[in-house]
């Protein structure tokens, strides 16, 4: 983390005082005594419907969650002809009602499509079933209110959502057709510009939303934007924009006070006779009346515009983007005169009236757009904070620490002796113009040859710390683009400045596939649901950073099951934070207090054959964190500065930021053979009495006696291949797989069935190995690998 003051003497004095006040906190960030609790969570609960929660919005007492929704019924099968897919949303689950006994469920039938076609990397098949969906819930209670669904054949990818004053805007891209019911009682259908009238999308040309190399051919998609009523989802209009002969999308949307809609995204095109496509960033304003384009700005210096926020205070847009579309520096870098590196991440301020770029800041990085990636966020500081904008961008400072003092030059006032005073030292409350220059001085504009270079600001703010993570959270002055501070962080999915102006909240998800992240000295727990996949070892995090200094205050972890994802965060004026994502858990632990247990199909579906605590389907999840109400965890006392100095109450443990009673464990999260034993260690798990008797600990995971090693590709619904010779035998070796009598272990090929060689002659069978038998402390083992899984192919789900 790099935190420095800005150039003006006033700012220097103000921030110096702040540093003096919190100096004790700088040595132990993210360990604040008090942390927030969760009020409620809501989940989808049907096995004939699936939804990936991707984006969120909160307005007028409601929280909205948008994403991909589909029927899981295959219409090409006999049962699919007679069975309709149904999507159900249930909530709330709360501390008072953790199993949702009093929860309300609303449901909607879905169109089912054939899954006969489709390949591994191409969408087709089941991916061609996805529709545009938005769930609406009461923000106070978590009770589901409504479901809005816009249907059409082909892959419909939902990525943008905004709600304001009863107006809802949703965006993304589509490969086939998309239909919206209009307020006048009619319907309007838009069709992909690459498909002949009356034809259907070609499954072979519908690509997986997370295609590994999007620099090549990734489908022929068009973007879309829908403006609708936030009350009932009935549309005012639906438009196809941008159009492309390759790939195009409106990634993010926002709404102004008049009801006009803004969209940010990209447009890729391949000219006839050329070998590759070219992608440009796109920003546009759509008329509130009919969706007509009021203005559009093509940004050829960007491969894509990724996140956007409208600022009503000064009628501006703040945008993040990247000079590559694919994220691969050598494949599709763009020419950007303000980028001093091979590739750059970009932050832009633009006029919302004309689409004119007012300033642009660049820093080294090759952020890429990916719907299942973590793409940062943009948030506006509240009135109590000041004229600032917060942004989080992924893949920044990849090579080394990179300065934020880059991009558009600063305007200023030129004195008679030729000295230029930059705009940020003249005024921090407005955009500086010629009228702000003292008498006998000359105004120098940002585009003037004598403009004050960004590199001369010398704020010393920089991003780039591989040990902290791949993302950078940054604070800029709105009117000038002057960097105030930066904070290196793990990947960020959402960003919300606090309503009191004192902090900024970030959130995201993590897996062990890329290494478990740390916040300062606080390592995230790598719990693994028993019999889960290695790439799904991980969880969700919510963290808080000081708005004044950029220093971390707390981090809380949630989840610890299968496919835990947090894809967006939104906040309300009361300081509450709403997490939007998806998971595949029946048991979910949120933060430090809320543990929920849900059922699918009202308890009528058969449990998952792999694990009874794992859901059958991928389910959207929305949770409410009461961020404005921070409390000290119940098992801590005497916590004044940070949790390291607190006393853990007798009979309790404080592990990974959560309280456990003596004997407590987390069976659902891969720790069934460890317990809380306050007499041994109150801050780490203690080995349970069954280790070495009925359980093994292999690769950091608890394994039951007799359980067989298996191989499974890290991909959705991949079959398991059981080993013929490797199994857990705790009486022989509690820390490694034991080899069954009559077999040799083939160490050169670890993947079943090639891992075992049967010994034909019983006379040469070696006695079972007893090396490495259990006999030492195992407390504090970090769960970071899988029970019996060889890792060959990685998929994002």
DSSP state string for 382-435: PTTT-SEEEEEEESBSSSS-EES--BSPB-EEE-TTS-EEEGGGT-SSS---GG
- Give CA separation, 403 vs 274, 388, 398, 583, in Å: 36, 19, 12, 37
Q: Which residue has the higher pLDDT, 782 or 613?
A: 613
User: What is the pTM assigned to this prediction?
Assistant: 0.90
pLDDT of residue 292: 98
The pLDDT assigned to 11 comes to 44
Could you tell me the pLDDT band of residue 791, with boundaries at 50, 70 and 90?
A: very low
Question: CA distances (Å), 424 to each of 6, 157, 261, in order?
Answer: 9, 41, 31
| CA distance from start to end of the chain | 31
Contacts (Cβ under 8 Å, ≥6 apart) of 394: 345, 365, 367, 368, 373, 374, 375, 376, 470, 471, 491, 492
61 pLDDT higher than 90? yes
Residue 551 has pLDDT above 70, yes or no: yes
What DSSP state is assigned to residue 649? P
- C-alpha distances (whole Å) from 566 to each of 196, 554, 591 are 38, 18, 13
Residue 640 banded pLDDT, cuts 50, 70, 90: confident
Q: What is the pLDDT of residues 315-339, one digit of tens each?
A: 999 999 999 999 888 899 899 999 9
Could you give the C-alpha distances from 538 to 321, 495, 598, in angstroms and in order?
A: 28, 20, 20
In sign, the C-alpha dihedral spanning 777, 779, 785, 787 is positive
Query: Would you state the pLDDT for residue 123?
Result: 65
CA quadruple 334, 336, 339, 341: dihedral positive or negative? positive
Cβ pair 554, 644 in contact under 8 A = no
The three-class DSSP label of residue 264 is strand
Task: Give me the pLDDT at residue 13, please.
Answer: 35
pLDDT of residue 766: 53
Count CB neighbours of 435 within 10 A. Answer: 6
Mean pLDDT of 393-409: 91
**Is the Cβ–Cβ distance between 309 and 295 less than 8 Å?**
no
Mean pLDDT of the chain: 87
Query: Above 80 in pLDDT, residue 605?
Result: no
Percent of the chain scoring above 70 in pLDDT = 87
CA pair distance 286, 308, nearest whole angstrom: 15
Residue 792 has pLDDT above 50, yes or no: no
pLDDT band with cut points at 50, 70 and 90 for residue 641: confident
Could you report the per-residue pLDDT of 115-174, keeping only the tens digit for each? 776 655 566 677 778 999 999 999 999 999 999 999 998 889 999 999 999 999 999 999
Q: Which position has the higher pLDDT, 80 or 348?
A: 348
Of the candidates 249, 284, 88, the one whose C-alpha atom is nearest the C-alpha of residue 157 is: 249
Average confidence (pLDDT) over 754-762: 81
345 contacts 365 by C-beta, under 8 angstroms: yes
């Amino acid at each position: 983390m790099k935190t420095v003051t800005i150039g003006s003497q006033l700012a220097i004095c103000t921030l110096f005082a702040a540093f003096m006040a919190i100096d004790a906190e700088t040595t132990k960030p993210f360990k604040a005594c008090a942390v927030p609790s969760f009020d409620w969570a809501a989940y989808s609960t049907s096995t004939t419907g699936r939804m990936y929660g991707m984006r969120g919005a909160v307005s007028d007492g409601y929280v909205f969650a948008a994403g991909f929704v589909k029927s899981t019924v295959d219409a090409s099968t006999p049962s699919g002809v007679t069975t309709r897919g149904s999507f159900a949303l249930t909530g709330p689950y709360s501390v008072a009602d953790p199993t949702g006994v009093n929860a309300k469920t609303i449901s909607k039938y879905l169109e089912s499509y054939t899954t006969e076609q489709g390949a591994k990397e191409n969408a087709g098949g089941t991916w061609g079933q996805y529709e545009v969906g938005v769930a609406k819930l009461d923000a106070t209670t978590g009770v589901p209110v409504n479901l809005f669904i816009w249907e059409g054949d082909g892959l419909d990818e939902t990525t943008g959502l905004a709600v304001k004053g009863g107006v809802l805007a949703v965006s993304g891209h589509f490969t086939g057709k998309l239909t919206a019911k209009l307020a006048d009682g009619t319907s309007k259908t838009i069709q992909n510009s690459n498909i002949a009238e009356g034809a259907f999308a070609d499954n072979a040309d519908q690509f997986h939303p997370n295609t590994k190399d999007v620099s090549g051919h990734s489908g022929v998609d068009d973007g879309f934007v829908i403006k609708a009523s936030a009350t009932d989802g009935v549309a005012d209009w639906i438009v196809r924009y941008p159009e492309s002969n390759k790939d195009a999308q409106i990634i993010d949307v926002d709404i102004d006070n008049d009801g006009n809609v803004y969209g940010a995204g990209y447009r890729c095109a391949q000219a006839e006779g050329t070998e590759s496509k070219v992608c440009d960033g796109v920003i546009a304003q759509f008329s509130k009346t009919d969706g007509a384009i009021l203005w559009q700005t093509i940004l050829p210096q960007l491969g894509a515009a990724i996140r956007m926020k409208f600022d009503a205070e000064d009628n501006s847009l703040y945008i993040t983007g990247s000079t590559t579309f694919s994220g691969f520096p050598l494949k599709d870098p763009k020419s950007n005169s303000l980028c001093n590196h091979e590739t750059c991440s970009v932050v832009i301020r633009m006029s919302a009236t004309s689409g004119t770029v007012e300033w642009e800041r660049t820093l080294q990085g090759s952020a890429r757009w990916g719907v299942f990636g973590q793409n940062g966020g943009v948030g506006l500081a509240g009135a109590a904070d000041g004229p600032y904008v917060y942004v989080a961008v992924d893949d920044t400072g990849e090579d080394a620490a990179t300065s934020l003092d880059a991009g558009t030059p600063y305007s200023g006032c030129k004195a008679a002796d030729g000295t230029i005073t930059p705009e940020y030292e003249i005024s921090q409350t407005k955009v500086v113009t010629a009228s702000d220059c003292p008498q006998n001085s000359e105004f120098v504009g940002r585009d003037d040859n004598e403009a004050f270079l960004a590199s001369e600001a010398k704020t010393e703010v920089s991003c780039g710390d591989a040990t902290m993570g791949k993302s950078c959270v940054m604070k800029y002055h709105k009117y000038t683009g002057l960097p105030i501070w930066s904070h290196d962080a793990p990947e960020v999915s959402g960003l919300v400045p606090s309503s009191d102006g004192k902090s900024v909240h970030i959130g995201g998800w993590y897996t062990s596939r890329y290494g478990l992240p740390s916040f300062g000295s606080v390592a995230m727990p790598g719990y693994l649901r028993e019999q889960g996949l290695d790439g799904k070892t991980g969880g969700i995090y919510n963290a808080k950073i000081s708005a004044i200094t950029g220093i971390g205050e707390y981090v809380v972890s949630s989840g610890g099951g299968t496919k835990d994802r947090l894809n967006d965060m939104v906040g309300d004026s009361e300081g509450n934070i709403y997490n939007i994502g998806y998971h595949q858990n029946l048991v979910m632990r949120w933060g430090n207090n809320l543990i929920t247990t849900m059922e699918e199909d009202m308890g009528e579906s058969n449990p998952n054959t792999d694990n009874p605590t794992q859901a059958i389907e991928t389910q959207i999840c929305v949770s409410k964190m009461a961020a404005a109400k921070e409390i000290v965890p119940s098992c801590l006392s005497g916590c004044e500065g940070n949790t390291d100095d607190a006393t853990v109450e007798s009979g309790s443990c404080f592990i990974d930021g959560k309280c456990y009673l003596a004997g407590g464990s987390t069976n659902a999260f891969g720790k069934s053979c460890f317990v809380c034993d306050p007499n041994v260690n109150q801050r780490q798990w203690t080995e349970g009495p069954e280790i070495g008797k009925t359980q093994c600990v292999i690769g950091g995971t608890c394994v039951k006696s007799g359980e067989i090693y298996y191989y499974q590709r890290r991909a959705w619904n991949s079959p398991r291949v059981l080993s013929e010779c490797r199994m857990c035998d705790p009486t022989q070796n509690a820390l490694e797989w034991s080899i069954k009598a009559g077999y040799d272990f083939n160490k050169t090929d670890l993947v079943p069935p090639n891992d075992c060689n049967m010994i034909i002659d019983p006379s040469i069978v070696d006695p079972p190995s007893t090396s490495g038998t259990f006999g030492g402390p195992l407390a504090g083992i970090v769960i970071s690998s899988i029970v019996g899984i060889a890792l060959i192919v990685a998929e994002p789900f």
